[in-house]
């Protein structure tokens, strides 16, 4: 898979995630005295945390190329990927997730019940965050 | 006006006579007494405590606990009015299916249906100041203009309406009962045992003790045990002078099938649309002359399909800054939470300084879960005795992994439904197969099922009239007679079944 295609998919995936990221972001702000999650962490970190749980459960998918291919293989998502319009990508993602939820293609990640594609998207974000962390460390070390 | 009578001043050996003797002055006993007012029947109500809680009486509330840890303190109040002196006032009637023999709930089924109780529910509503007997969620939504969450119509979950009024049964009735020429209320009267007549078919007398080391007897045509789900069973078991197994215990059912409501705070829901912080589920609204609030419950279809006990979730708003703001005000904020405030200082400090309106981002779930009837969950007698020489009750039950699994399954189903209907996302917070099931559980402080009602003496202690099968003139009132409890808080049904008992007593005693 060409690096450019992968980046595009990561970009579109992250874009789609914005649609529902606030939901998860809100969820991690659960402020009961018992479970003080890190409210200060950003939406991306929250999604990456879920993604890491998914990747731990499905280690065979823990590669950007593999996850990108799996997401691109979802029919309505594939149509979204062919478009340059963010709105279309979001709509395609919503449709794909709705279909998966209807037919029970769901996973529990860190307790959140998600459509399979949502979880995979979190997995992609987790990989992205991890890669950026490695790059930042490399930059800092010289 | 006679006022309240202090049993400690009743001369030793006195025999008190009444048409109906009611043991216990909580929601059940006082409602029976209220139902008997104005009939010309001489009614005597016996309360073990006084008009206020007394620390020195706490030893008489002692209970041995075996099996799971269970804190009984506070679930029983030993003074006039009983636990309705501190209850929250949450009321739901049972539903039609709760009276049925449900294949997925062993030992379920009442000897009558919802229709039988409806008139008593209506009357109980009047007594308890609950407003109209109307639990229609759609109507509540239309009247308040507050939308339903969106689960209704999906077939799996629905909105249920609760009504709220912490009616103080004692305070509401003290003038009425103490000024009624036919009713006497005795305080500080501890029932020691019920004694059968010579024929062995009916109770002739009740023997009472007091903390002043005195005793007296009560002779009545009818006796009503209304002392709570633990105490009723204990008193039947200790009344073993003529029947060694205790009264009504020919089928070894007295004390068995003890049930509670499991209360478990778990689950976060982040809805896909902004929440109205004064929504139907998060705030009380006054309609039909009473306060209401909505909760979420499973449908019968879902319970049946997945073998679930009754399940209800009350919603609590999640305010992202409110907790940290409260900590800030109290000067106890933790370093990591300071970052939370710094992240959005405007909103956070508005909340901290002015008690402003923090945004509402979602809600957590407070789950009410039915404990299905199990004959091995029971109240029995201890080897230990209280200061009056009576055997203490033992409460013995264990929560198994099946209940944990059921609640987790209900949460996964709810999370699935919320996601499927596009309502948001839910976090299931119950671990899979934990070492300790429902580890952080609380209980509803409801003692249910220990003198269960059934048409046959082989299946229950009391019959449909709440009369002990084996004793002609002995009745039980309260949630002890409920064969099952659903997810509903029991007080409204306690009042309704007590009014039904009062009507029965009226028919046989007048």
**pLDDT tens, B214-228?**
999 999 999 999 999
Residue carrying structure tokens 């106890």: B332
- pLDDT for A127-140, tens place per residue? 988 887 766 677 67
Structural element, H or E, at residue B27: helix B27-36
Tokens of B86: 């501190």
Alpha carbon distances (Å) from B62 to B40, B56, B77, B395:
38, 12, 11, 11
Question: For residue A47, is pLDDT > 80?
Answer: no
Cβ B355 vs Cβ B203: under 8 Å: no
- pLDDT for B109-138, tens place per residue? 999 999 999 999 999 999 999 999 999 999
B425–A23: do the CB atoms touch at under 8 Å?
A: yes
B364–A24: do the CB atoms touch at under 8 Å?
A: no
Question: For residue A1, is pLDDT > 50?
Answer: no
A106 in reach of chain B (CB within 8 A)? yes
Question: For residue B333, is pLDDT > 70?
Answer: no
Mean per-residue pLDDT over chain B, rounded: 91
Q: Tell me, what's the pLDDT at A131?
A: 82
Report which DSSP code applies to B462: B
Q: Tell me, what's the pLDDT at A78?
A: 66
Cβ B415 vs Cβ B448: under 8 Å: no
Q: Tell me, what's the pLDDT at A41?
A: 42
Cα–Cα distance, B466 to B475 (Å, whole number) = 5
In this prediction, residues B43-71 reach a mean pLDDT of: 91
Residue B202 neighbours by CB distance under 10 Å:
15
Cα–Cα distance, A120 to A50 (Å, whole number) = 10
B427 in reach of chain A (CB within 8 A)? yes
In this prediction, residues B35-49 reach a mean pLDDT of: 96
Reference B381, options B257, B187, B261, B240; nearest CA is B240
pLDDT band for A25, please (50, 70, 90 cuts): very low
Q: Output A100 or A129, whichever has higher pLDDT.
A: A100
Reference B486, options B315, B295, B252; nearest CA is B295
For B368, how many CA atoms within 13 A lie in the half-sphere containing its CB? 25
A11 in reach of chain B (CB within 8 A)? no
A39–B362: do the CB atoms touch at under 8 Å?
A: no
- pLDDT for B241-261, tens place per residue? 999 999 999 999 999 999 999
- pLDDT for B3-23, tens place per residue? 799 999 999 999 999 999 999
A20 in reach of chain B (CB within 8 A)? yes
B415 in reach of chain A (CB within 8 A)? yes
For B77, how many CA atoms within 13 A lie in the half-sphere containing its CB? 20
Mean per-residue pLDDT over chain A, rounded: 68
A4 in reach of chain B (CB within 8 A)? no
Question: For residue A75, is pLDDT > 90?
Answer: no
**Nearest CB partner across the interface for A23, out of B364, B416, B424:** B424
In this prediction, residues B159-180 reach a mean pLDDT of: 92
Tokens of B429: 């917070």
Cα–Cα distance, B250 to B232 (Å, whole number) = 16
B416–A104: do the CB atoms touch at under 8 Å?
A: yes
Q: Is the dihedral of CA B81, B82, B86, B88 positive or negative?
A: negative
Q: Tell me, what's the pLDDT at B331?
A: 65
Q: Which of A58-67, B176-185, B274-283, B370-379 has the lowest mean pLDDT?
A: B274-283
Contacts of A40 (CB under 8 A, 6+ apart): B336, B339, B340, B343
**Nearest CB partner across the interface for A40, out of B340, B362, B427:** B340
Contacts of B71 (CB under 8 A, 6+ apart): B443
Question: For residue A85, is pLDDT > 70?
Answer: no
- pLDDT for B384-435, tens place per residue? 999 999 999 999 999 999 999 999 999 999 999 998 998 888 889 999 989 9
Q: Taking each helix axis from N to C terminus, what angle separates A116-141 and A3-27, rounded to the nearest 10 degrees?
A: 110
For B135, how many CA atoms within 13 A lie in the half-sphere containing its CB? 21
- pLDDT for B97-113, tens place per residue? 999 999 999 999 999 99
Q: Is the dihedral of CA B359, B363, B364, B367 positive or negative?
A: positive
| Rg over CA atoms, chain A | 15
Cα–Cα distance, B9 to B17 (Å, whole number) = 17
Q: Tell me, what's the pLDDT at B1?
A: 40
pLDDT band for A125, please (50, 70, 90 cuts): confident
DSSP strand pairing (B4-6 vs B183-187) = parallel
Reference B196, options B187, B208, B206; nearest CA is B206
Question: For residue B343, is pLDDT > 60?
Answer: no
A45 in reach of chain B (CB within 8 A)? no
Q: Which of B176-185, B269-278, B481-490 has the lowest mean pLDDT?
A: B269-278
Instruction: Provide the chain B residues 320-359 that lie in CB contact (below 8 A) with chain A.
Output: 320-324, 336-337, 339-340, 343
Cα–Cα distance, B469 to B111 (Å, whole number) = 13
Instruction: Provide the chain B residues 76-135 that lie in CB contact (below 8 A) with chain A.
Output: none
Contacts of B287 (CB under 8 A, 6+ apart): B131, B140, B143, B144
Q: Taking each helix axis from N to C terminus, what angle separates A116-141 and A43-57, rounded to the nearest 10 degrees?
A: 110
The dihedrals phi and psi of B83, each to the nearest 5 degrees, come to: -70, -10
Contacts of B92 (CB under 8 A, 6+ apart): B135, B160, B161, B162, B163, B487, B488, B489, B492
- pLDDT for B182-213, tens place per residue? 999 999 999 999 999 999 999 999 999 999 99
Q: Tell me, what's the pLDDT at A12?
A: 46
DSSP strand pairing (B15-23 vs B43-46) = parallel
pLDDT band for B362, please (50, 70, 90 cuts): confident
CA angle, B98 as apex, B495 and B34 as ends, to 5°? 10
Q: Tell me, what's the pLDDT at A139?
A: 67
B425–A101: do the CB atoms touch at under 8 Å?
A: no
A103 in reach of chain B (CB within 8 A)? no
Cβ A34 vs Cβ B268: under 8 Å: no
Cα–Cα distance, B398 to B309 (Å, whole number) = 16
B155 in reach of chain A (CB within 8 A)? no
């Amino acid at each position: 898979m060409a690096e450019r295609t992968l980046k595009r998919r990561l970009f579109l995936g992250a874009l789609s995630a914005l649609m529902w990221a606030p939901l998860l972001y809100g969820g991690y702000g659960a402020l009961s005295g018992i479970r003080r999650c890190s409210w200060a962490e950003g939406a991306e970190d929250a999604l990456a945390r879920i993604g890491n749980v998914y990747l731990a459960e499905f280690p065979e998918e823990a590669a950007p190329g593999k996850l990108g291919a799996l997401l691109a293989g979802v029919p309505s998502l594939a149509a979204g990927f062919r478009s340059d319009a963010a709105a279309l990508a979001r709509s395609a993602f919503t449709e794909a997730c709705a279909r998966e939820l209807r037919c029970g293609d769901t996973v529990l990640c860190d307790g959140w019940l998600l459509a399979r594609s949502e979880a995979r998207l979190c997995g992609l974000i987790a990989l992205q965050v991890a890669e950026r962390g490695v790059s930042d460390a490399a930059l800092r070390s010289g | 006006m006679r006022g309240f009578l202090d049993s400690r001043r009743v001369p030793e050996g006195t025999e008190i006579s009444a048409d109906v003797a009611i043991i216990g002055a909580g929601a059940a006993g006082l409602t029976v007494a209220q139902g008997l007012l104005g009939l010309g029947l001489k009614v005597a109500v016996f309360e073990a405590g006084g008009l206020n809680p007394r620390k020195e009486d706490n030893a008489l509330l002692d209970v041995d606990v075996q099996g799971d840890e269970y804190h009984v303190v506070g679930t029983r109040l030993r003074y006039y009015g009983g636990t309705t002196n501190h209850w929250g006032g949450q009321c739901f009637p049972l539903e039609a299916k709760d009276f049925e023999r449900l294949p997925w709930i062993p030992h379920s089924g009442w000897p009558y249906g919802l229709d039988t109780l409806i008139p008593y529910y209506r009357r109980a509503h009047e007594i308890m100041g609950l407003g109209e007997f109307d639990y229609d969620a759609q109507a509540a939504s239309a009247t308040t203009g507050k939308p339903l969450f969106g689960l209704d119509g999906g077939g799996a979950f629905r909105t249920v309406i609760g009504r709220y009024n912490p009616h103080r049964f004692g305070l509401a009735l003290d003038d009425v009962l103490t000024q009624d020429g036919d009713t006497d209320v005795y305080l500080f009267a501890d029932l020691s045992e019920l004694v059968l007549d010579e024929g062995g078919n009916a109770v002739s007398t009740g023997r009472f003790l007091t903390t002043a080391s005195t005793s007296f007897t009560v002779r009545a045509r009818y006796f009503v045990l209304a002392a709570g789900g633990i105490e009723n069973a204990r008193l039947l078991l200790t009344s073993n002078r003529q029947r060694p197994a205790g009264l009504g215990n020919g089928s070894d059912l007295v004390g068995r099938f003890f049930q509670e409501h499991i209360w478990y705070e778990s689950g976060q829901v982040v809805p896909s649309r902004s929440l109205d912080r004064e929504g139907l589920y998060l705030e009380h609204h006054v309609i039909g002359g009473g306060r209401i609030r909505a909760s979420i419950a499973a449908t019968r279809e879902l319970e049946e399909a997945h073998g679930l006990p009754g399940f209800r979730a009350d919603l609590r708003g999640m305010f992202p800054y409110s907790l940290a703001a409260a900590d800030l005000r109290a000067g106890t904020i933790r370093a990591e939470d300071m970052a939370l405030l710094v992240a959005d200082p405007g909103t956070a400090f508005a909340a901290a300084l002015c008690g402003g309106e923090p945004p509402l981002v979602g809600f957590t779930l407070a789950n009410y879960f039915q404990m299905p009837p199990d004959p091995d969950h029971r109240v029995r007698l201890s080897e230990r005795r209280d200061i009056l020489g009576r055997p203490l009750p033992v409460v013995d039950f264990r929560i198994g992994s099946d209940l944990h699994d059921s609640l987790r399954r209900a949460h996964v189903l709810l999370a699935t439904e919320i996601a499927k209907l596009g309502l948001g996302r839910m976090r299931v917070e119950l671990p899979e197969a934990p070492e300790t099931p429902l580890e952080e559980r609380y209980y509803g402080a409801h003692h249910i099922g220990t003198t269960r009602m059934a048409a046959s003496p082989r299946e229950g202690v009391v019959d449909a009239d709440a009369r002990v099968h084996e004793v002609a003139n002995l009745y039980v009132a309260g949630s002890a007679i409920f064969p099952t409890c659903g997810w509903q808080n029991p007080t409204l049904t306690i009042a309704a079944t007590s009014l039904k008992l009062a009507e029965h007593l009226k028919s046989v005693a007048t």
